[in-house]
Amino acid sequence: MADETRRLVLDAVARGFSHRFKADDSFVTDVDLAVERHLRTRIAAHFPGHGVIGEELDATGTGAELRWTIDPIDGTHSFRFGVPFYGTLLALLHGDVPVLGVIDMPGLALRVAGARGLGARANGAALRLADADGPVEREIVATGDRAQFEKAGKLSSYERLAREHPVVRTYSDCLGHALALQGRVGAMVDFGLHLWDVAATEAIAREAGARFVCLERRGATGADARHDVVFGKPAVVDRLLRILT
């Protein structure tokens, strides 16, 4: 399915696409809708009993034991402007537990994926995180956009992190997730996420040996909740938790 959506996305990039603003003032493009529709059609054909929670369309099969989450284009702001740091996120929940995750980044030709008991992979190569092998404060820490922290009412956390860790970079959205799951950045701090932003990462992190911590979940369960998370190399996550809490 990720092969198919990657082709769909790259064709749209080559052809050009239109965008508009959503009610929350974020961008949506016709590609977001086309990718989510494609994945829903494929899931319905292969797994008719499964539920689906997606960013752009209404949830289906909300009572199902197995439910998919879809973020068709994570990083729409990057996507709209041609910055290659966007991706398609797909996860499978068993109850409320993510058991399979795929982060596919067409603009970087990068796919990071993992499933319970099957391990994690980056572009097909087995992924097993080594902990920090040098001074933890040298590691690069990724964050989401400052506006995410502001919306979550946690701008002070963002500013404390920027003051207390030497190298903090806004590698927003799936870029930071993919880099942290590969151990390239030491960890990521990402606040105010929807379930479809975070479920794939949680599933992959467990299989890759990354530490994944949800600091807070606000709101109802399911599509309305917002998650503040930290994940990456265990020693770096520990340091960040000390700074943040």
CA pair distance 81, 104, nearest whole angstrom: 18
Interface region with a copy of itself, contact rule CB under 8 A, candidates 96-104, 170-178, 189-197, 237-245: 170-178
Applying CB under 8 A, among 10, 59, 83, 214 the residue interacting with a copy of itself is 83
CA 71/CA 90 separation, integer angstroms: 7
Are 129 and 187 a contacting pair, CB within 8 Å? no
Q: CA-to-CA distance for 113 and 69, rounded, in angstroms? A: 14
Distance of CA 90 to the CA centre of its chain: 9
For residues 71 and 177, is the Cβ–Cβ distance under 8 A? no
Of 110, 96, 119, 134, nearest to 206 by C-alpha is: 119
> Which positions from 111 through 150 interact with a copy of itself, judged by CB under 8 A?
139-140, 145-147
Q: Which of 10, 81, 128, 160 binds a copy of itself (CB under 8 A)?
A: 81
Among 28, 172, 197, 203, which residue sits at the site for a copy of itself (rule: CB under 8 A)? 172
243 makes contact with a copy of itself (CB under 8 A): no
174 binds a copy of itself (CB under 8 A): no
Strands 119-122 and 19-21: unpaired
Whichever of 49 and 82 has its CB closer to a copy of itself, that residue is 82
CB of 179 to a copy of itself, least distance (A): 6
- Binding residues (CB under 8 A) for a copy of itself: these are 77-78, 81-84, 108, 139-140, 145-147, 162, 166-172, 179, 182-186
